[in-house]
Amino acid sequence: MKPVPDHLQSDLKHAIRLEWWTLAWQTSIVVVMYFVLGSSQAMKSAWMEDLLGLVPAGIFLLSVHFERQPPTPKFPFGFLRVNSLAFLASASVLVFMGAYLLYDSVSKLIAMEHPTLGPITLFGETIWIGWVMMAALAYSVIPPVIIGRLKQPVSKRLRDKVLHTDALMQKADWMTGLAGILGVSGVGFGFWWADSVAAALIALDIAHDGLRAARVAIAELSDGMPRELGGTKIDKDAKALKSVLEKRHPGSEVRLRETGRFIAAQVTGPHLPDEPAPLEDLWTGDPAYSWRLANVSYAPKRD
């Protein structure tokens, strides 16, 4: 099975291009931020978030590569779930790093550590390093916000959770930049604690993104009902499909699960059809996503 149907192949190619752009821009941001970190805790947390921003893009490109591989004797169902497995791995990294950065920033806040942001010589001029830090933070926000907005409609059409979460993280990246700028400027005004508070806020944002992603990935890998894109509620199209199958097969048990972008259904009951209905006749949700119904299997009910 292809990772997406033929009419969405152009969207998939566009998504791949966007992720390569993300890797290129994000790498340049990580390099720029690294050279102006100084002793600012907020800068350190913002730099770490930018570094972690490389993970979802890399995970998406890797999962698309594996999704295209044909089934093998050891993996007869193919590799469509690689997307969710990789999604869970990247989410776990976000949660761990968010928790670590939160601990680190709160510890420094309790210890009342005062960051030192001194002068720096740049092009023969001596200026306060805080100005350079804020310029780097502003640069770190602009490309991700633009690319994040470009990814959102594509991720919805592809029903790709990794791409969608990546888009939301990048779209909201301005909050990280703003928190970092406020932290650095706060130090400049003599509020030493502003730096650690900003770092804690950035760390919370990282952990929140990771937890939200982990909940969705765990639901799929546990054969849970299909979830809404970017959320934990049951998908409305999946609810409609379950209702149709229950009406067609009264007294049967209907179970749905997600396999990557696709939905698989199983009907278990005493009276099974001799000729199953075409898949397109069973889908009553949004017609744009009818391709998501990959198969409906029937099994007799055991006494």
> Is 231 domain-assigned?
no
Q: Are residues 28 and 159 in the same domain?
A: yes
Q: How many structural domains compose the chain?
A: 2
Q: Are residues 161 and 186 in the same domain?
A: yes
Backbone angles phi, psi at 203, to 5 degrees: -65, -40
Beta strands per DSSP E along 82-205 = 119-122, 125-128
Does residue 21 share a domain with residue 102?
Answer: yes
DSSP character at residue 5: -
Angle at the Cα of 39 from the Cα atoms of 33 and 44, rounded to 5 degrees: 45
Q: Is residue 249 part of a domain?
A: yes
Q: What does the pLDDT read at residue 67?
A: 83
In a domain, 1, yes or no: no
pLDDT digits (tens, 9 = 90+) for 153-202: 999 999 888 888 888 778 777 777 888 888 888 888 888 788 888 888 88
- In angstroms, the CA 166 to CA 64 distance is 15
Q: Helices 9-34 and 41-52: crossing angle, nearest 10°?
A: 150
Give the pLDDT of the chain (303 residues) as one tens digit per residue: 667 888 899 999 999 999 999 999 999 999 999 988 877 888 888 888 888 888 888 888 988 888 888 888 888 878 877 877 877 877 887 788 788 878 888 887 888 877 777 777 777 777 888 888 889 989 988 888 899 899 999 999 998 888 888 887 787 777 778 888 888 888 888 887 888 888 888 888 878 878 887 887 888 788 888 888 877 788 999 999 999 999 988 888 999 998 878 898 999 987 777 777 888 889 988 888 999 998 898 888 766
Q: Could you tell me if residue 227 is inside a domain?
A: no
Model confidence pLDDT, tens digit, residues 100-128: 878 888 887 888 877 777 777 777 777 88
For residue 293, give its domain range: 236-300
Beta bridge partners of residue 121, listed in sequence order: 126
**pTM as predicted:** 0.84
Q: Where are the beta strands (DSSP E) in the chain?
A: 119-122, 125-128, 253-259, 262-269, 293-300
Please identify, among 188, 221, 254, the residue that sits at the C-terminal boundary of a domain: 221
- Residue 118 covered by a domain: yes
| Domain boundary pick from 179, 198, 221 | 221
Task: Quote the pLDDT of residue 114.
Answer: 72
Within this chain, do residues 61 and 192 fall inside the same structural domain, yes or no?
yes
Residues 30 and 99 in one domain: yes
| Cα within 13 Å of Cα(301), Cβ side | 13
Residues 167 and 77 in one domain: yes
Q: Are residues 173 and 150 in the same domain?
A: yes
Q: Are residues 208 and 247 in the same domain?
A: no
Within this chain, do residues 145 and 285 fall inside the same structural domain, yes or no? no
Report the pLDDT value the prediction gives residue 2, as an integer from 0 to 100: 67
The CA distance from 217 to 60, in Å, is: 14
Indicate whether 171 and 264 sit together in one domain.
no
- Asked whether residue 24 is assigned to any structural domain, the reply reads yes
In a domain, 228, yes or no: no
Separation of alpha carbons 167 and 229, rounded Å: 12
Q: Does residue 229 belong to any structural domain of this protein? A: no
Tokens of 37: 């970190």
The CATH number given to whatever domain includes residue 205 is: 1.20.1510.10
The answer to whether the beta carbons of residues 79 and 163 sit under 8 Å apart is no
Domain-terminating residue out of 195, 221, 247: 221
Q: What angle separates helix 82-110 from helix 54-67, to the nearest 10 degrees?
A: 170
173 and 279 in a single domain? The answer is no
Cross-strand pairs, 262:
259
Domain holding 262: CATH number? 3.30.70
